[in-house]
Amino acid sequence: MNYYQQHREQFLEGLKTFLRIPSISTSPEHTGDVRRAAEFVAGELRAAGLDNVELLERPGRNPLVYADWLKAAGKPTLLFYGHYDVQPPDPLDEWTSPPFEPEVRNGNIYARGSSDDKGQTYILIKAVEGYLATHGKLPVNVRFLIEGEEEVGGEHIEEYVSQRPARLKSDCAIVCDTEMFAPDLPTICVGLRGIVYGEIHVQSSDHDLHSGVYGGAAPNAIQAAAEIICALKDRQGRIHIPGFTDSVQLPSEEEKTAWARLPFNEEEYRVKEVGSTELTGEPGYSVFDRTWARPTFEVHGIRGGFTGDGAKTVIPARAVIKVSTRLVPNQKPAEVIEQLKAAVKAATPKGCTAEFRTVHGAEASLTDPKNPFVQAAARSLAQSFGSETVYIRSGGSIPVVGLFDRYLGIPSVLMGFGLPDDNLHAPNEKFHLPNFYRGIEAVAGYLEALGNT
């Protein structure tokens, strides 16, 4: 047994401690927990033997956790990225075990953040810890930059990366926040969608009205919200935001051919992953196209009116629609925001006003699979998992990849260990423990391989 195999129990206990901290970055009442999670990460990095461990502070922002080990002269420098903040756990009553009391069942650990992204961040830390513990040094230079605002737009890391690029000088970023295409199929993600997240504020009156007295003559903010939603995306799944898809860059024929070779059963995907009676989306595109290479418009919730138990006969005067669009290469968030503003205005029914307000935005990104850091990662993953590495895209958004490209001029290797059914952002999020353990060894093997080149 090597060091990594000997320490599995400690790794699991450490991860559980990390998962018990409800570091929900979108909830102001969890600010203290968010800080505790940052301090936990810093403590782990210090214990692992990293140098210059530090919480990078900025008023009103969640700390970034920084650490480095830069004693491998002449060797490349890797920038390890992960995030310690998590999504809210609601709806709470759908969790089998409580979201912040990690529980192991059937080889998985269940908790909010287990896969996204505490489990994966912890892989990076434990790989370096193990290597230092067994060799006394690392074969390459490493920096860690672990953030606490990934789920809320990542403003702090954007400010830091854009303002202090010299402090982060590296040759390649290793981003551990994606998933494997299938269990036992090591995967590198070479494409991510961007995002524009925002709110549509709808107003139909200056006060709520009684639906008996005014029903038939008064506009209704939620009816208007529904009309706006349906105007922006139709029943067939086609998006109607003028200009929105004009600049979309299509995937290459080579990439589409590789996707066609991936083991994929659409019916199994529908039943086991999506859990719906039918798949939906833009007509004429494959599932990979629709989730990786096409932009989306999605509504996340509508606030306003009466939603409690029982009956209240109100005509709501105001509604707020939470929406996002996922963007693909060549779409610019700033342009999409203007397109959304115009489309919402045009779709607003009479008697109402509506306005799109941006919450955050990020560009899509692509990595060249032929990059040598990507190639080395593919070999290390193949070795640890005993299977050829595949290249996929992800429909999600990891804005930091664009930041590293723009301000540090480095590519990102998206080496993920999650699984498609990990229930990210949903109840019963889990992380597959065999991937956790093999991931630690794969990252350590990658360090070794890069040191030998």
Of the candidate spans 35-43, 318-326, 379-387, 406-414, the one that interacts with a copy of itself by CB under 8 A turns out to be 318-326
Which H, E and C letters describe 101-137, residue by residue?
CCEEECCEEECCCHHHHHHHHHHHHHHHHHHHHHHCC
Stretch that binds a copy of itself, among 117-125, 246-254, 300-308, 333-341 (CB under 8 A): 300-308
Measured from the CB atom, the residue of 298 and 388 that comes closer to a copy of itself is 298
Q: Binding to a copy of itself by residue 210, rule CB under 8 A?
A: yes
**Region binding a copy of itself by CB under 8 A among candidate stretches 58-66, 135-143, 283-291, 431-439:** 283-291
Q: State the residue for tokens 């203007």.
A: 338
Q: Does 60 bind a copy of itself (CB under 8 A)?
A: no
Applying CB under 8 A, the span of 39-47, 128-136, 311-319, 373-381 interacting with a copy of itself comes to 311-319
Binding a copy of itself by CB under 8 A: which of 425, 448, 449, 451? Answer: 425
273 lies in the site for a copy of itself, by CB under 8 A: yes
DSSP character for 63? P
Q: Among 22-30, 119-127, 247-255, 401-409, which window interacts with a copy of itself (CB under 8 A)?
A: 22-30
Q: Are 49 and 40 within 8 A, CB to CB?
A: no
Where do runs of H (alpha helix) occur along 136-220?
A: 155-163, 211-214
Residue 201 CB, shortest distance to a copy of itself, in Å, is 13
Nearest-CA neighbor of 128 among 178, 82, 68?
A: 68
β partners of residue 68:
51, 143
Q: At what angle do helices 372-385 and 433-451 cross, to 10 degrees?
A: 130
- CA distance readout (Å), 276 to 179, 217, 264, 269, 425: 22, 38, 17, 10, 17
Q: How far is the CB of 213 from a copy of itself (least distance, A)?
A: 5
- Which of 349/369 has CB closer to a copy of itself? 349
Site for a copy of itself in 357-396 (CB under 8 A): 359-360, 394-396
Which DSSP symbol is given to 274?
A: I
Instruction: Pick the closer one to a copy of itself by CB: 50 or 354.
Output: 354
**Token digits for 291?**
């989730």
Report residue 78 as tokens. 């890797």
Using the rule CB under 8 A, which residue among 74, 309, 368, 386 binds a copy of itself?
309
CB nearer to a copy of itself: pick between 133 and 299: 299
Angle among Cα 26, 143, 151 to the nearest 5 degrees reads 15
Rounded to a whole number of angstroms, the minimum distance from the CB of residue 4 to a copy of itself is 29
CB 182 within 8 Å of CB 319: no
Q: Tell the smallest beta-carbon distance from residue 179 to a copy of itself (Å).
A: 8
Q: Which of 59, 216, 283, 386 binds a copy of itself (CB under 8 A)?
A: 216
Catalytic-residue membership of 149? no
Query: Nearer to a copy of itself by C-beta: 86 or 408?
Result: 86
Q: Which of the residues 149 through 168 are near a copy of itself (CB under 8 A)?
A: 151-153
Site for a copy of itself (CB under 8 A): which residue of 70, 182, 314, 449? 314
**H or E segment to which residue 377 belongs:** helix 372-385
Residue pair 202/228 in contact (Cβ under 8 Å)? The answer is yes
In the residue annotation, 206 being an active-site residue is answered as no
Nearer to a copy of itself (CB atom), residue 137 or residue 300 = 300
Chain positions 84 to 113 lying near a copy of itself, rule: CB under 8 A, are: 87-88, 90-91, 94
- Residues that contact a copy of itself, how many (by CB under 8 A): 100
CB of 242 to a copy of itself, least distance (A): 18
Q: Which of 216, 179, 195 is nearest to 394 (CA)?
A: 179
The single residue among 19, 302, 374, 408 that binds a copy of itself, judged by CB under 8 A, is: 302
> With contact defined as beta carbons under 8 Å apart, do 154 and 147 qualify?
yes
83 binding a copy of itself? (CB under 8 A):
no
Catalytic residue among 33, 44, 68, 85: 85
Please identify which residue in 20, 201, 233, 430 interacts with a copy of itself, judged by CB under 8 A: 233
* Span interacting with a copy of itself, options 35-43, 55-63, 156-164, 189-197, rule CB under 8 A: 189-197
By C-alpha distance, which of 171, 144, 139, 173 is closest to 71? 139
Report d(CA 272, CA 267) in Å as an integer: 8
User: Judged by CB, which is closer to a copy of itself: 334, or 426?
Assistant: 426
Q: Considering only CA atoms, which of 26, 154, 153, 143 is closest in space to residue 81? A: 143
* Short-list 79, 58, 66, CA closest to 411: 79
Active site residues: 85, 150
